[in-house]
Structure 1
Amino acid sequence: MAHRFAFTVQSTDIDVIGHVNNAKYLEYMEWARFDWIWQQGFTFEEWKRQAVMPVVVNLHINYRKELRMREEVTALTTVLRVGEKSFVLRHELYNKQDVLVADADVTMVMIDANTRRSVPLPDEWKAVLEKELAAT
Structure 2
Amino acid sequence: MIWRTLLLLWRSRRRYRREGAMEPLEVGVVRLTTLPTDLDLVGHMNNGRYLSLFDLGRFDLLMRTGLWDLGRERGWYPVVANATISYRKSLHLWQRFDIESRLVAADDRAMYLEHRVVVRGEIYARLLVRGRFVKRSGGVLPIAELFEAIGLDPAAVPAPDEWMTRWADDVALPPTKAPAPSTWA
Q: Common fold, TM-score beyond 0.5?
A: yes
Structure with the higher fraction of residues in strand conformation: 1
Aligned match of 1:49 = 73
Q: Residues 96-134 of structure 1: CA distance to partner in whole angstroms, max 9, x if unpaired?
A: x3321100110001211122x212132224717765x47
Instruction: Please name the residue that 1:70 is paired with.
Output: 94
What is the count of residue pairs matched by the alignment?
Answer: 130
Quick one: distance in 1 between partners of 2:82 and 2:27? Answer: 21
Structure 1 Cα separation of the partners of residues 102 and 70 of structure 2: 22
Deviation, structure 1 residue 64 = 0.8
Instruction: Structure 1: state its 5+ residue gaps.
Output: none
CA-to-aligned-CA distance 1:20-70 (integer Å, 9 cap, x gap): 100111111110111011100122x43232111111000010011111110
What is the SS of the residue equivalent to 1:34? Answer: helix
Partners of 1:129 and 1:8 in 2: CA distance? 35
Structure richer in helix, relative to its length: 2
Q: Which residue of 2 aligns with 1:60?
A: 84
- Aligned residue among 125, 128, 141 for 1:105: 128
For the 8 Å contact 1:75–1:93, the answer to whether it is kept is yes
Aligned counterparts of 1:128 and 1:15: Cα–Cα separation in 2? 43
Distance 1:54 1:38, change over 3 A: same
* SS of alignment partner, residue 111 of structure 2: strand
Find the counterpart in structure 1 of residue 30 from structure 2: 5
CA RMSD of aligned residues (A): 2.0
The two structures have a TM-score, normalised by structure 2, of 0.64
TM-score (norm 1): 0.85
Runs of 4+ residues deviating >6 angstroms: none
* Structure 2 unaligned regions, length at least 5: 1-25, 159-185
CA distance in 2, matches of 1:15, 1:130: 43
CA contact (8 A) 1:90 1:104 kept: yes
| Contact kept? 1:75, 1:92, Cα under 8 Å | yes
State whether residues 82 and 126 of structure 1, in contact with CA within 8 Å, keep that contact through their aligned partners in structure 2: no
Secondary structure of 1:61's counterpart equals strand
Supply the distance in 1 between the matched residues of 2:154 and 2:96 (Cα, whole angstroms): 28
